[in-house]
Every structure is written in structure tokens, then in C-alpha cells.
Amino acid sequence: QQQVKQSPQSLIVQKGGISIINCAYENTAFDYFPWYQQFPGKGPALLIAIRPDVSEKKEGRFTISFNKSAKQFSLHIMDSQPGDSATYFCAASVMRSNFGNEKLTFGTGTRLTIIP
């Protein structure tokens, strides 16, 4: 049972363009939605995250848009650069007051390629 669905599986964007990756979740208990960036041979690294009490969060060229009613969230990368070429994972979890994050449920990943 895939609780977090991610699309597209791969994405090619021209340098300077906008990269958009979408995720949808099923579990309404999720209350923490991070995006991770993974380069070959490396572990995933936290890029940006959002809680469901806001509809948008921006950090530099990266923006998360969140639609609670539709149970969807997306990552927008503005002015995409070749250095952004990586695999991107959305994820969701339930924050627990005693232990912090519960397990992260990951999407299936999007391989992003930025071409010059």
C-alpha cells in the first residue's frame, strides 16, 4: 500500500526553467511533509519541509505548496540549475511529542535532470 504517491518518475527541465514535482498522501494523520534531495552515492538530505497549518513555504529557489483538502503537496524549483540534478523524494510523517518524528513514509522518487 503506497501511502505517498509521487509524480513524475523522471523530469527533464531546461536550465532556468521551473521544476515541479507532485505528491499525494492518504493518511490524514500525517502532519509533517519534508522533501529530500539525493545525489548518487549519497544519503538523502533534507531540502525543505512544511507543516499543514500553512499553504506555502519558500526557501531560496525552493517552494513547497500544500493543499490540505486535496491531500497534495508539491515542490517547485525556480531558476533550475544543472547542480539541482538529483533524485527528489517527498515524504510524510506524524510528529510525536515524545519521540519527535515517527517513521518517514517516502514517495517513490523523481529523477530530475537539468539540461543546459
Q: What are phi and psi of 82, to 5 degrees?
A: -55, -35
Residue type present at position 47:
L
Cβ neighbours of residue 109 under 8 Å, at least 6 residues apart?
Answer: 6, 9, 38, 87, 88, 89
CB of 1 vs another protein, minimal distance in Å: 12
String of contacts with another protein for each residue 69-108, x by CB under 8 A: ------------------x-x-----x---xxxxxxxx-x
Report the site for another protein in 21-60 (rule: CB under 8 A).
Answer: 32, 34, 36, 38, 41-46, 49
CB of 16 vs another protein, minimal distance in Å: 27
CB-count exposure of residue 32 (10 Å: 0-12, 13-18, 19+): middle
Enumerate binding residues for another protein (CB under 8 A). Answer: 32, 34, 36, 38, 41-46, 49, 87, 89, 95, 99-106, 108-109
